[in-house]
Structure 1
């Protein structure tokens, strides 16, 4: 989990390309629509900020995690959605503008909620309080990585629509390729940790990942949000900023405890696979439903 070419070069480059590709498919109208109908944003924030920490706490307690690993799992729950959630939402035909809006809002609110949740977790599981400084620098980085390339892509779409249309497919393919490379590199880099800690925290991290995704998709559906909005919220909540959680846990200036970073390592490896399966599943269900409707219409 030390700083490497993976975290300092490949990951930012991959995220930049991903965000550029998303910007090529967006217009300002997508964002004004989200602002005009704020219910989806409020539901997403309810899931992310209020319900998810309690779900994580229940999993940490029921799975009997050692205290440091339990705090690490709670740190992950307190972290904002990852920027790659926007890519998976795009691939799954979700409301990408809603994703980007939630990522931006969550990143700002996390400045307050992350220290609060982590300090409460330290007190509960370890019986100690430790100040976690407000992460203004990390929030600024998220804004730069998310909004910079997205804005460039949107500008190209507006000023050079023909060029942006030509760039869509190659940028999308390049995004997927970079994502696969980053995941493969992460698995190789953390292979020793994966083997030694999997029995202790693997099941809990996977359970939290699946619970996050299901909560993020099915609760909005129960609250009558449309399918695209529910996919966006599911991806936003299911894909956490594991890099941020690892950085906070490992930093000598913050928690200075690499054991607390272990849940984020496992979660980061699981979430890309489960997000891909989730996206495939909801789209397969949609196609099956459309086929049944078409078949019923042809018989009538």
Structure 2
């Protein structure tokens, strides 16, 4: 029952994201190739690499380590576009990043997990099935976006009417999922916060800085640099929570709480960096 509620919530959240997108949003970044390359490098390549490097430095293995790798493969989602807007970044570019990342997550997430799982959980003889996981992620994270975009394209009046209430409901579902995971495993959350907290905050800060540095090196506009930094630094915790619950079935030990908890912790801790980042970028 819990997994059904989680998967249904994620599907609706991604559907809500799709309603806010137009087909041309997927092409905005292609007209800005430098920005597109920078975004792909930061989010699809550097984020998982940095996350894995931090796990090695902190000496973290097991379920929580895999949960952090799951988080590192998640796209930005609706939250990143809101942060970009508040930070006076390039919102169109942010939406384009999110749209493209949401489509490729079904491929990149299972691929990264298949490479890192044997290293992070060496004590268990685990062989992650890429195709079934890819199909699940596609059905829950990619297909709803496509459905929302299709409605926006073919029935625009209906999409516009649904957009605000669906967005409000999606935000409510995100908060409900987050609170549900934290309350359900509050003792585990408190016990592991001293370890997970610094690692996740460091990952967040490093990716924000990397996004800024890559943007400056490629001489992007200030608004584009802001968008790149946000997309690299802030991830969709809901996807991490739900995918963590899905792959729990693949393992002898662990389950919903342990694979999903890093994403839940991250969703709370990123509030610590969002506020100063927004004020800083607005002051430039």
Q: TM-score, normalised by structure 2?
A: 0.76
Query: Is the aligned partner of 1:199 residue 2:194?
Result: yes
State the Cα deviation string for residues 207-263 of structure 1 (Å, max 9, x = none): 112222222233212321112222222222222232222233322544573323221
State the Cα deviation string for residues 53-90 of structure 1 (Å, max 9, x = none): 22112211222224332222122212333342222223
Paired residues in the alignment total 273
Q: Which has the larger radius of gyration?
A: 1
- Find the aligned partners of 2:149 and 2:52 in 1 and give their Cα distance: 34
Match of residue 297 from structure 1: none
- Which ranges of structure 2 fall in alignment gaps of 5 or more residues? none
State the Cα deviation string for residues 244-286 of structure 1 (Å, max 9, x = none): 2223332254457332322112112223443343222211x32
Shift of 1:129: 4.2
Which one is further off, 106-115 or 181-190? Answer: 181-190
| Equivalent position to 1:245, from 240, 249, 256 | 240
Alignment map for 1:49-60 (pairs within 5 Å): 49-60=44-55
- Find the aligned partners of 1:120 and 1:47 in 2 and give their Cα distance: 19
Shift of 1:190: 0.6
Q: Relative to 1, partners in 2 of residues 1:175 and 1:107: Cα closer, same or farther, differing over 3 Å?
A: closer
Shift of 1:205: 1.5
Q: Relative to 1, partners in 2 of residues 1:235 and 1:130: Cα closer, same or farther, differing over 3 Å?
A: same
Shift of 1:46: 0.7
State the Cα deviation string for residues 274-300 of structure 1 (Å, max 9, x = none): 3343222211x32xxxxxxxxxxxxxx
RMSD: 3.7
- Which ranges of structure 1 fall in alignment gaps of 5 or more residues? 287-300
Q: Relative to 1, partners in 2 of residues 1:95 and 1:213: Cα closer, same or farther, differing over 3 Å?
A: same
Match of residue 274 from structure 1: 273
| Equivalent position to 2:230, from 229, 232, 235 | 235
Q: TM-score, normalised by structure 1?
A: 0.72
SS in 2 for 1:190: helix
Query: Is the aligned partner of 1:186 residue 2:178?
Result: yes
Q: Relative to 1, partners in 2 of residues 1:105 and 1:277: Cα closer, same or farther, differing over 3 Å?
A: same
Query: Is the aligned partner of 1:84 residue 2:84?
Result: no
Query: Is the aligned partner of 1:98 residue 2:93?
Result: yes
- Find the aligned partners of 1:228 and 1:265 in 2 and give their Cα distance: 29
